[in-house]
Chains A and B, each alone.
Chain A
Amino acid sequence: MAFSQSEIAELLPLPPATFHILIALADEDRHGYAIIQDVAARTNGATQLSAGTLYRSIQRMQEQGLIVETRERPAPDDDDERRRYYRITPFGSAVARAEARRLAEMVRLARASGIIPERA
């Protein structure tokens, strides 16, 4: 699906919490607690989203159309009936990709200037 570049560019750069949540939701739908755990695991515990930060981000991301609350449940055995699950939208994926490209470009620039070593 194509989104206008300006729509995407308006949201960049993403706040770190938003980017982390998008990545956590990239492979499967998750509920809030699972997002926190996933982010912690991916970053080896370096990033611990707080409850307040998480839900404030979720609210904004829903308003921005980056994620939606989903009614479909994953496999019944890990389903918790009372939990709310979130799913990344195609627009959310596009924004996450754009942010990743932006970050990669920044890293490239840093390498070119010699501030960090070239990749081996």
Chain B
Amino acid sequence: MNFYRALLHLYPASFRGEYRDELCRLFAERRQRTSGFVAVAALCLETIIDTLVSAARVHLDILRQDLRYTVRSLAHARGFAVTAVLVTALGIGANTAVFSLTDQVFIRPLPYHDADRLVMIWEQVPGYSRLEASPPNYLDWRRMSTSFETMGAVVNQQANMVGGTEPRRLIGANVSAEVLAMLGAQPSIGRTFVRGDDELNAARTVILSDALWRSEFGARPDILGARVRLDEIEHVVIGVMPPAFSFPSRETQIWRPLLLSPDNGDEDRDNNYLHVLARLKPGATLGSARAEMEVLTERLERAYPTENAETRATVHLLRDQVPSQARMLMYALGGASACFLLIACTNLASLLLARVLKRRKELAMRTAMGAGRERLVRQLLTESLVLSVAGGALGIVFAIIAVPLLALLVPPSLPIADATALDTRVLLFAALLTAVTGIAFGVVPAVRVASDRDLSGLREGSRGGSGGRTERLRALLVAAEVAISVVLLISAGLLIRALWRVQTTDPGFRTERVIAIQTPLSQTKYGVTARRVDLYSRILQDVRALPGVDSAAYISFIPMSMRGGIWPVKVKGTAQIPEELGDQRAASLRYVTPGFFRTMQIPLHAGRDISESDTLEANAVAVVSQSFAKRYFPGVDPIGQRFEFAFMERTVVGLVGDIRVRGLERESEPQVYLSYRQVGDGNIMFYLPKELVVRASADPVTLVPAVRSIIRKADPDMPISLVRTLDEVVAADSASRTIQLRVLGVFAGLSLLLAGIGLHGLLSFAVSQRVPEISLRMALGARAGDVLRLVLRQGLVLAAIGAVVGMTLAYAAGRWMEALLAGVKPGDLITFAAAAGIAVLMTVSGSLIPALRAVRVDPATVLRAE
């Protein structure tokens, strides 16, 4: 019998209370008439099944009733329903979108085979924690190490493809033969590279990305064996990768074997340009691999004391290559959206609470008519679940809209799918969030009802009950909302300040009316310096002759496009290098044509520009930046000084202003500009000038068609890969900042709005509860101003408490994201003051309508009614 009594707990309490005795009696009667072990067992089994099935049905019956009732009652409170659904939708939508992104970037394993054992190995020298490896060091690591199953190298290398309708610039990667296999990549057609493909005398081969195969080759099934001209060299297509494969970047279109050759400086241990990828052996750990690399690099230092001085290696999981800024951004987004959900939920709870208070009479009536407390709680929970499910569904729609926008925040080098679609995991997350929101915040008002001893709604004189405890709870919720929105507001404010600071940074050149056109020169065709010089002079001559062109020049890389290109500097003679600078003897290398400084309006402080007479036969010259002169020739006139750089001794002939090569936010190395004519055939090909900069007297974009036709005339096979104004280049430098700011700003704005709504709701309710008191005060001579102050004070106290808590939290948040702040202090006074001001403004505007309503109370009417 006890067994059956326990089983009855599957029924809702109301049903159990009504029919328990009857059910027990029926069971007892059947049990009496049954004998024998088998028969009793069968009876028990049958009873269990019957109870399970009918209990589920009874629950469903109630749910159906509650749903019907909910829909009816919400139809009567449309404003409430719409607000609640919208609030929930915003919260769930934001979190779902952020989750789908974080999931892709951090949680999911990388889309490679056994990705947890893939590592990257970097050189480490004083001043650089992660430096690309030089080919000889890479080859030595590969030969000497035992911690890795395989090791390979990758270098990003673009290529010109001709033969199609227009010459095209392709984004590519050169990989050593083992790399694709190491990643576990299977081609969809053909094969990947095998050992031998990366030997110098092997036939040149190429693998295409799925996107390129479709766009340029019409998805030809007979693509294998096709010949493609890349940088003037015929390559045989040996495979096509599947659409989902991306490495090293989502933009990579072709893969070619990495060829290491002495002609390319690949025997130089200071020629750091390889990304080294390896797979840990089973049993090897990151720690053991690091220890081995430490010992190994010490041995290499002893063998090559000059080139490998203080050179070590560091091993990191491929997964951890997410740039720390991107990581922090993700955390910030996650934090902001969680804060936002919290506010949304708080508002929902507050709305539901207010609604319960309004409905006390109705609830009391239902209790009086026999509805158990359990049924009331259930009904309220159903109501909040209905609201949150509707909110969740709408939230998913919001998320679908938001994800592509948020995906812009993810750097393309991260191996995530381009279309970050909402999938089952994400939908599951949204559903979970919805359920938690609905239950957690439906429980608050439900518990209030359940703990309300006598549901005094029906008692004489009750005005729907002001419930001191309930009001305190709501006040707490509102203060929490203010605190959270202050946190978001200050975080966004700090980022705005950081953005301003970045954007007002002087890049060292004038961006307006300059256009930069990238014309990647084929290294094969233009390996001979004289041919290159001829090409530049033909193009520059025609461009300079165009009406509206002030000046034009060529450079290896425009600032902020390529950030590296740093070469060691050796100064002979007596010039003393300060001890603390001894580790940083490096400068950025760029080749330029005459007129570059004039075009960029980089000030020439002393000496002269590079000139057409600076040829290989003449003295090797250099124009250096002020920081270069200050560092290497302190206290002396730099003009005429000599230093060793890029394989030659150079003489300083000009001194120019510093520019921000590495972007507005980072310190840049000193700059050295060399003459485009002073380079041997086939030498330092990576640096051959390929960016044409043109300063116009009016809008430079109008010049583009004319410049294009000049370039086409000079070499019909040369593609134009990128056309940007310098303004765009500089804006792009702070683009990710602008986006992250916008996202955080939207969160902060919406939170503020929600907090305002919450405050307004609370105060309106409080005022409506206090109408008789206010009337009495006014009847006794209180003036409108007193009443106004009374109501406003309540709002302001809450806001003040919230703001103080919020500021403390915001300071902690600011300290934590200091790296994103570009030097703005986490306790920035202006930001804090502004946030506090906005919070006060929001409080006042949230309180104003209820306060005015209180003032407009007509004491006579109210007191008569009492």
A residues engaging B (CB < 8 A)? 31-33, 36, 50-56, 58-60, 82-84
A50-B54 contact, Cβ under 8 Å, with A33-B25, A55-B22: yes
A51→B22 CA distance, assembly (Å): 9
B residues engaging A (CB < 8 A)? 15, 18-19, 21-23, 25-27, 29, 46-47, 50-51, 53-55, 57-58, 61
A32-B54 contact, Cβ under 8 Å, with A55-B19, A59-B18, A60-B61: no
Contact A33 B19 (CB under 8 A): no
A33→B25 CA distance, assembly (Å): 9
Residue of B nearest to A31 (CB): B22
- Which of B26, B29, B58 touches A59 (beta carbons < 8 Å)? B58
Residue of B nearest to A84 (CB): B22
| B residues in contact with A60, CB < 8 Å | 61
A62 vs chain B, min Cβ distance (A): 9
Residue of B nearest to A57 (CB): B54
Contact A52 B21 (CB under 8 A): no
Q: Is the interface of A mostly helix, strand, loop or mixed?
A: helix
B34 vs chain A, min Cβ distance (A): 14
A82→B55 CA distance, assembly (Å): 24
Contact A52 B51 (CB under 8 A): yes
Contact A50 B25 (CB under 8 A): no
- A33-B29, A55-B15, A55-B23 known; 16 new pairs, CB 8 Å cut-off, are A52-B23, A52-B50, A52-B51, A52-B54, A53-B50, A55-B22, A55-B54, A56-B15, A56-B54, A56-B58, A56-B61, A59-B18, A59-B58, A59-B61, A82-B25, A84-B22
| A residues in contact with B54, CB < 8 Å | 50, 52-53, 55-56
Q: Is the interface of B mostly helix, strand, loop or mixed?
A: helix
Contact B26 A51 (CB under 8 A): yes
A103→B46 CA distance, assembly (Å): 31
Shortest Cβ-Cβ A-B pairs, 3 listed? A52-B54, A50-B50, A52-B50
By CB atoms of chain B within 10 A, which of A31, A50, A84 has the most?
A: A50
A51→B46 CA distance, assembly (Å): 11
A36-B58 contact, Cβ under 8 Å, with A50-B50, A51-B50, A82-B21: no
Residue of B nearest to A53 (CB): B54
Can you list 17 A-B pairs with a CB-CB distance of less than 8 A?
A: A31-B22, A32-B22, A32-B26, A36-B26, A50-B46, A51-B23, A51-B50, A52-B50, A56-B57, A58-B19, A59-B15, A59-B58, A59-B61, A60-B61, A82-B21, A82-B25, A83-B22
A83→B46 CA distance, assembly (Å): 24
| B residues in contact with A82, CB < 8 Å | 21, 25
Contact A52 B27 (CB under 8 A): no
Contact A33 B26 (CB under 8 A): yes
| B residues in contact with A53, CB < 8 Å | 50, 54
A50 vs chain B, min Cβ distance (A): 4
By CB atoms of chain B within 10 A, which of A53, A56, A58, A83 has the most?
A: A56
A93→B378 CA distance, assembly (Å): 33
A29 vs chain B, min Cβ distance (A): 15
A50→B53 CA distance, assembly (Å): 11
A120 vs chain B, min Cβ distance (A): 40
| B residues in contact with A83, CB < 8 Å | 22, 25
By CB atoms of chain B within 10 A, which of A31, A36, A51 has the most?
A: A51
A32→B27 CA distance, assembly (Å): 12
| A residues in contact with B51, CB < 8 Å | 52
Residue of A nearest to B20 (CB): A55
Residue of B nearest to A55 (CB): B19
A52-B55 contact, Cβ under 8 Å, with A59-B15, A59-B18, A84-B22: yes
A82 vs chain B, min Cβ distance (A): 7
Residue of A nearest to B4 (CB): A51
| A residues in contact with B53, CB < 8 Å | 52
| B residues in contact with A58, CB < 8 Å | 19
Contact A51 B27 (CB under 8 A): yes
A82→B21 CA distance, assembly (Å): 9
A66 vs chain B, min Cβ distance (A): 15
A60 vs chain B, min Cβ distance (A): 6
| B residues in contact with A36, CB < 8 Å | 26
| A residues in contact with B21, CB < 8 Å | 82
A53→B56 CA distance, assembly (Å): 11
Residue of B nearest to A69 (CB): B18
Residue of A nearest to B62 (CB): A59
A64 vs chain B, min Cβ distance (A): 11
A50→B51 CA distance, assembly (Å): 9
A83→B26 CA distance, assembly (Å): 11
| B residues in contact with A33, CB < 8 Å | 25-26, 29
A63→B58 CA distance, assembly (Å): 13
| A residues in contact with B57, CB < 8 Å | 56
| A residues in contact with B58, CB < 8 Å | 56, 59
A6 vs chain B, min Cβ distance (A): 17
A116→B51 CA distance, assembly (Å): 37
Contact A59 B19 (CB under 8 A): yes
A53→B23 CA distance, assembly (Å): 11
A32→B24 CA distance, assembly (Å): 11
B67 vs chain A, min Cβ distance (A): 15
| B residues in contact with A56, CB < 8 Å | 15, 54, 57-58, 61
A18 vs chain B, min Cβ distance (A): 13
| B residues in contact with A59, CB < 8 Å | 15, 18-19, 58, 61
A45→B18 CA distance, assembly (Å): 28
